[in-house]
Structure 1
Amino acid sequence: MTSNAISEIWYTRCPVPTPVGLAAQLGFLEESFRAEGVALKSIIDSPDRSIRQSHFNHTLDWSFRHGGNVPPIRARSEGRKTRLVGITWTDEFQAIITLPGTGIKSTRDLKGRRFGIARRPEGIVDFMRATALKGLVSALSLEGLELADVEVVDIALADSVLESQEGPSLFRLKRRQAYGDEIASLIRGEVDAIYVKGTAGINVANLVGAVQVAEFGFHPDPKIRINSGSPRVLTVDELLAEERPDLVHRLLESIFKASAWAEAHPEETRRFVAREAGATEEQVLAANGPEVHRHLGLGLQPELVEAIGHYKDFLRDFGFLAADFDIAEWVDHRHLEAFARRAVA
């Protein structure tokens, strides 16, 4: 046992399908760390803004994060001392939508039209903008089109990502509906098409009776599917990775236990994912498909690492990073390899 005793660990996850989210809901995470005398504390639920900010910039020592990959990639590009210890790939609905009457029926019809992408103020990395931009580039590439073939229209938002989660609640809800500003611009006729994804995207598309121009979240080419949520990354800060690998082992133990539980409980898993995402089970089924319970694992296979590298390069090329860095130097295989050896033993 290490002499570096700690009493608490900070953690955070995005409200999307992840094995960490499932492990938290099932009580596996708390149970596993309690056995080591360590309390888990939620970053995103903290009343302290400086702590909540770590959900987006990974500043806290003794912490781990599982979710969308833009914030941790950006944090690494800023010099944050973190380790990428696992990757989960759960495909999800990704689409370009428009409204009836625009005359846009296929991606080719986007040529010369106005495509709306929200832009938030500088500060916290604008991961929603990066996501929409990658979705647009992917869709256009399938028809041999480029970004220059459409007119990208900024939908200016007043609040940063962090600030948007701190205002007064609307109708006693914790968060505002995703894509609300984009949909409003679409309805007002300020833009001709937008990008949406996941359960939130499928919900608003259904709400306004949108026309689906293209859907590519399940496209056979992984480079088309790659985006902020496909795949998602598990990262830990350097202190935790280097000084308490036994606790990283506990984390992995909880995750694989949750993954195995999901495989054996498909209907219950869909229910848990719906609760995590603030969605209905029907929306989860539509957005993630009937096999979501089989896609909550964790690994560092070459194709997963390559996917993160591909998206990192996209973020670099479009100005979302502070500096470039080597993905291979970020990936830390030691913990999964050690866990596998212990599991076999």
Structure 2
Amino acid sequence: MSAPRTLWYTRCPLPTASGVAIERGLLDAAFAPLGIAVQSLNASLERQVREAHFDHGQPGLFRQGGMIPPIWSRARGADTLVIATGWIDEYQAVIALPDSGIRSGDDLRGRRLGVPCRPGEQIDYWRAMCLRGYHSALQLAGLAPADVEFVALPIHEGQIPTGGASQRGSLWHGALRARRQSREALALVRGEVDAIYTASPAGAQLTAFLGARVVVDIGAAPSPALRSNNQVPAILTVDGTLARTRPDLVVRYLAALFDAADWARAQPADAAAILCEDVGATKEWLYAAHGDDVAARLAPALDPVHIQAVSAQKDFLLGLGLLEQDFDLQAWIAPEFIQAAAATRGSHATA
């Protein structure tokens, strides 16, 4: 089959090899000799194209980021494959205000936990992520979901912005990122809820801004299963038609991500500056949420522990009733592409 004229990519506001590869021009360099342009979903102003970040509906798309939307879209019949994973632990916590009387997980019994919800969205990934965080926190505290009250906090702002086309920029600009947890924070301050879940560099900042107490430090849990959530591990998915008809392009894409990860490991300060741009935080908060060595942990992988975490996330979403149907997880995983890409590391690097 002839090569497509355009490939598409999207990534979540997380530390990813995709973000480094995009900013360093590695994807452009890898595909330019083939006459293929590599476009960000953010380069389009069409709503349907942008929504592909969630439903994977754009042909020729690579998506690296949180796993809830890809699991949801696969359960709806989206033709996709998982070609890589990546585990970068992040700050995750249940927090409460100092005067709440909540000092540890034991004190959550009978308390109100805020759950943001966007009823008009295709997949309310943030609600699902918060609930998964609460379930992990309650398990760490020896409690069950029935021991607390979940309070719905409706939000009427869409998750995908409609403007601001940019070839390389993230779909999420600063203002939208800053408002992601404004509803929960205001509910906490107003006394509508007693505790909220938060995560990522923005979550670490929010905790400091509120002067909040970390009631349960989920990100420090000894068990990877309890630390796992939407963004841990992140996964890389690809359009199934592209993978079947032009597997060489998928391998080339992954090889560029390996090159990006190698460069980031060798140039951690410069790489951190790129990651800060993607997550919308300074280095102080990037490191606080992900560790000082975050730039050394970007290489694509396909680890059995990661796959087990994806399976657990799928089962959790099924239990919440967020998936239309179950599906064969192992059939969704395609290890042959990362194996071939690992064998060609360095062949597509740029200066």
Q: Is TM more than 0.5 here?
A: yes
15 and 176 in structure 1: CA distance in 2 versus 1, 3 angstrom threshold: closer
2:5–2:37: 8 Å Cα contact kept in structure 1?
yes
Q: How far did 1:173 drift?
A: 4.8
Cα 1:153–1:167 change in 2 (3 A) is farther
Q: Which residue of 2 is the match for residue 43 of structure 1?
A: 41
Q: Which runs of 5+ in 1 are unaligned?
A: none
Matches within 5 A, 1:81-160: 81-160=79-158
Structure 2 residue corresponding to 1:285, chosen from 266, 284, 287: 287
Q: Distance in 1 between matches of 2:242 and 2:163?
A: 33
Q: Residue in 2 aligned with 1:166?
A: 162
- Write the deviation string for residues 70-106 of structure 1: whole angstroms up to 9, x where unpaired: 1111000000000100001111000001112100000
Match of 2:273 in 1: 271
Q: Is the 8 A contact 1:8 1:39 kept in 2?
A: yes
Partner of 2:304 in structure 1?
Answer: 302
* Whole-angstrom CA distance in 1 between matches of 2:188 and 2:214: 14
**Does structure 1 retain, via aligned residues, the 8 Å contact 2:94–2:217?**
yes
The amino acid across from 1:336 in the alignment is: I
1:254 counterpart = 2:256: yes
Structure 2 CA distance for aligned equivalents of residues 44 and 111 of structure 1: 43
SS in 1 for 2:256: helix
**What are the within-5 Å matches in structure 2 for residues 218-237 of structure 1?**
218-237=220-239
SS at structure 1 position matched to 2:99: coil
The TM-score with structure 2 as length reference comes to 0.92
Tell me what 2:326 maps to.
324
1:23 is matched with which residue: 6, 21, 37?
21
Map 1:174-253; keep pairs closer than 5 Å.
174-177=175-178, 178-253=180-255
> How far 1:338 sits from its partner (Å)?
2.2
Give the partner amino acid of 1:241: A
1:339 Cα deviation after fit: 2.4
Tell me how far apart the structure 1 counterparts of residues 117 and 79 of structure 2 sit (CA, whole Å).
Answer: 28
Give 1:180 deviation, angstroms.
Answer: 0.7
Counterparts of 1:277 and 1:49 in 2: how far apart (Å)?
Answer: 23
Q: CA deviation at 1:337?
A: 2.1
Shift of 1:49: 0.4
Give the Cα separation in 1 of the matches to 2:174 and 2:320.
Answer: 34
Shift of 1:176: 4.7
> Using a 3 Å threshold, how does the CA distance of structure 1 residues 343 and 289 change in structure 2: closer, same or farther?
closer
DSSP 3-state at the match of 2:176? coil
Q: Identity of paired residues, percent? A: 40
Please say which of residues 142-151 and 259-268 is displaced more in the overlay: 259-268
The separation in 1 between residues aligned to 2:60 and 2:240, in whole angstroms, is 8
Alignment-mate amino acid for residue 249 of structure 1: V
Matches of 1:81 and 1:19 in 2, distance apart? 23
* 2:10 alignment partner in structure 1: 12
Aligned to 1:67: 65
Tell whether the 8 Å contact from 1:262 to 1:293 is kept in structure 2 after alignment. yes
SS for the counterpart of 2:69 is helix
CA–CA distance in structure 1, aligned partners of residues 279 and 186 of structure 2: 22
Asked whether the equivalents of residues 124 and 160 of structure 1 are also in contact (C-alpha less than 8 Å), the reply is no
For residues 176 and 78 of structure 2, what CA distance do their matches in structure 1 show? 28
Letter of the structure 2 residue corresponding to residue 175 of structure 1? L
Alpha-carbon distance in 1 for matches of 2:250, 2:210: 44
- Aligned to 1:161, the other structure's residue is in SS state coil
Partner secondary structure for residue 44 of structure 1: helix
- What residue number does 1:54 align with? 52
SS state at 2:34 partner: coil
Alpha-carbon offset, residue 44 of structure 1: 3.0
3-state SS of paired residue (1:300)? coil
The structure 1 segments of at least 4 consecutive aligned residues displaced by more than 6 Å after TM superposition are none
Matches of 1:159 and 1:280 in 2, distance apart?
Answer: 25
Structure 2 vs 1, CA of residues 200 and 300 (structure 1 numbering), >3 Å: closer, same or farther?
same
Is the CA contact (8 Å cut-off) linking 2:71 and 2:314 kept in structure 1? Answer: yes
Residues 124 and 161, structure 1, Cα contact 8 Å, conserved in 2: no
Q: In 2 relative to 1, CA 336–118 (structure 1 residues): closer, same or farther, beyond 3 Å? A: same
Counterpart AA for 2:294: V
Q: Which amino acid aligns with 1:146?
A: A
The 3-state SS of whatever aligns with 2:152 is strand
1:114-148 residue CA offsets vs partner (Å, 9 max, x unmatched): 00010111432011011110110001101210111
| Residue matched to 2:169 | none
Answer with 213-222 or 284-293: which moved more.
213-222
Distance 2:215 2:124 in 1: 25
- SS of 1:153's equivalent in the other structure is strand
- Residue 22 of structure 1 deviates from its aligned partner by 1.1
* Matches of 1:344 and 1:173, distance apart in 2: 34
